[in-house]
Structure 1
Amino acid sequence: MTNSNPWDADWEVSAPLASSLIFRQFPRLSSMPIKLIGCGWDNVVFRVGDEYVFRFPRRNVAVELIKKEGVLLPMLAAFLTIPYPKPFFYGEPTNDYPFPFLGYTYVPGTLPKGLTDEQRASSAVALATFLKGLHAFPLQRAREHGIEHDHRNLLDIAQRKEKMQTFLSTLAVHISEEDRDAIANYLGQVVRDRIRPREVLLHGDLHVKNMLVDEAGQISGIIDWGDLNVGHPGADVSVAYSFLPPQARQSFFHAYGEVDEETKILARMMAVYIPMLLWMQAIDHKDEEVAEEARMTIRRALADE
């Protein structure tokens, strides 16, 4: 299979294939219904009964990532203050499907689309406390279990800015002049080429598709840990700009702890960079809801306090 986009699959995982793999390897689940509930860049996700979800890599790059999840996620329980999926079933490759796969505890909630500013602000302290705990995880322990170091080269601001300008060229024909100019003006104001290294354990991919909220709109779960890596905290602190409205950032930073200017520069950049990718994917998939959420995320990220 030839991929033209980074979200295209190397392997397709159908519901019948997933059912066969799960039920053959874990026969005690065979009486439970199975339902497709999501398809991300790296994995396709099925809910099994009321208690479990199974994720299957759909891209070659995701295979090593899901292996690392299986090893490290159980170790994070003492550090995390927001529910997350814990690996419970470790699936093995077969002749039908050549990759390992994982079954996790199910975390209830819905994706945080269309929330009010007040609903978002109500999660500021919870998100900050969660990241403070995650970023305190011992780095040596993470490295001993194969967690990668800064695989996205977060410190190179100039390179990321160049990528974003390419993204903007792709988006330009699909978006309003106002949105295009806002992003272009922001990129024009980014003058730093690199930032100094800082290292913590990162979730690495905190955005609207990897966060869950309850019925009141408060954060209730963090999912998809495939981008676990050691890198600059700005990558995760980006939620202060992407998820939270400007008036809630002070509360976030007060609970998280002191954050220097370089961390804020990277955080804001990632809060624009990731939604640009999601926006392009949404346009490709004709998903107007995600496209609008990506657009509003960028608007929040660019808004001043």
Structure 2
Amino acid sequence: MGGSNLWDPEWEVSEGLARKFISSQFPQLAHLTIHKLGYGWDNTVYRVGDEFVFRFPRRKVAIAPLQMEGKILPMLEAYIPIPYSKPLFFGEGDYEYPAPFLGYPYLIGKFPIGLTDEQRTLSAPILARFLKRLHTFPVQLAVESGIQFDHRNLTDIALRKEKMLIFLADLRAHISDEDYQAMADYLHELNTEPVEPSHIFLHGDLHFKNMLVDEQGLISGIIDWGDMNIGHPACDLNVVYSFLPPGARASFFAEYGEVDEETKRLARLIAVYIPMLIWMQAIDDHEAAVAEEAKTIIARALADA
């Protein structure tokens, strides 16, 4: 794929530059080892010692979301029943690197790649309780703090469908005929009628690269809150289709609360849309395991469509 993509960086933060910023602004951490954990669309991530992790924006568009994390995440402590990325260190850039950066506790866990359906099913009540509590965070407080409304316009199903058909064409060389046909059939048959607006406080980008699991495969933490917004609960409920196998979905909704069919329609759509983007980036970055997981997620999301 290559070319100019939304995940292409504007700044590269080297280990030396990260060490310089962290040690000069937080001298109590200067003796700790620093090594790169990886990067996403918006941030480069470094582990500092055994206890902390720092995120450095790699694009201008990531600065405002990071600043919002610093403001909002400390307010969420009473609303989140599992570990999450609560910022502890607030750093500032300079002429070498013109962006703020944040440091958080290091959350133990790994991305949920390659889990069995049985492992995923065990996390259904954990995810349901997490989202049920998170979605009660006061919308008015979020608005007063500067949180945006559906800034990625994920509820526009017709626009998502249009983009996904383009993504599917781009991915064609990497998909089996059977998987390609399943995705094409889903998109061509998709009902694009708009969903009724809903205003709930959201994580906003809940996918497998922003979730952690422990050694048993149970959800152990939620990271990367840069896309927090006020919008439709389906945007977070995509995990019902992307993370959970079909047999675990009823138990999730029994704990979270039932939702209407258009919410499920939008949740499933996002459960396919986001992995398509992750898959394309993984192909560009030669990350075979991530690409395979994204492909598997799409198949899971469509399993009972």
| Shorter-chain TM-score tier | over 0.9
SS in 2 for 1:120: helix
Which segment is superposed worse, 3-12 or 239-248? 3-12
Aligned CA distance change for structure 1 residues 3 and 226 (closer, same or farther; 3 Å): farther
Q: Which residue is 2:229 aligned to?
A: 229
Q: Which residue is 1:290 aligned to?
A: 290
| Within-5 A mapping of 1:158-173 | 158-173=158-173
Q: Which residue is 2:207 aligned to?
A: 207
**How far apart in 1 are the matches of 2:287 and 2:210?**
17
SS in 2 for 1:55: strand
Deviation at 1:3, TM superposition (A): 6.7
SS in 1 for 2:88: strand
Q: Which residue is 1:48 aligned to?
A: 48
**How far apart in 2 are the matches of 1:130 and 1:124?**
10
Alpha-carbon deviations, 1:69-120, whole Å to 9, x = none? Answer: 0000000000001110110000012122111100111111011110000000
Contact 1:3/1:9 (<8 A) preserved: no
Alpha-carbon deviations, 1:5-33, whole Å to 9, x = none? Answer: 11110110010000000000001100000
1:178 aligned onto 2:178: yes
Which segment is superposed worse, 128-137 or 146-155? 146-155
Deviation at 1:271, TM superposition (A): 0.3
Deviation at 1:155, TM superposition (A): 2.5
Percent identity between matched residues is 61
Q: Which residue is 1:38 aligned to?
A: 38
**How far apart in 2 are the matches of 1:126 and 1:154?**
25
Q: Which residue is 1:11 aligned to?
A: 11
In structure 1, runs of 5+ residues without a counterpart are none
| Within-5 A mapping of 1:1-305 | 4-304=4-304
Alpha-carbon deviations, 1:196-219, whole Å to 9, x = none? Answer: 101111111111111000000000
**How far apart in 2 are the matches of 1:135 and 1:181?**
36
Contact 1:3/1:10 (<8 A) preserved: no
**How far apart in 1 are the matches of 2:241 and 2:155?**
18
Deviation at 1:193, TM superposition (A): 2.7
**How far apart in 2 are the matches of 1:205 and 1:212?**
14
**How far apart in 1 are the matches of 2:155 and 2:43?**
27
**How far apart in 2 are the matches of 1:251 and 1:191?**
26
Contact 1:155/1:196 (<8 A) preserved: no
**How far apart in 2 are the matches of 1:20 and 1:79?**
35
Contact 1:157/1:193 (<8 A) preserved: yes
Letter in 1 for 2:18: A
SS in 2 for 1:61: helix
Deviation at 1:154, TM superposition (A): 2.4
Relative to the length of structure 2, the TM-score reads: 0.98
**How far apart in 2 are the matches of 1:156 and 1:216?**
37
Contact 1:137/1:201 (<8 A) preserved: yes
**How far apart in 1 are the matches of 2:273 and 2:198?**
20
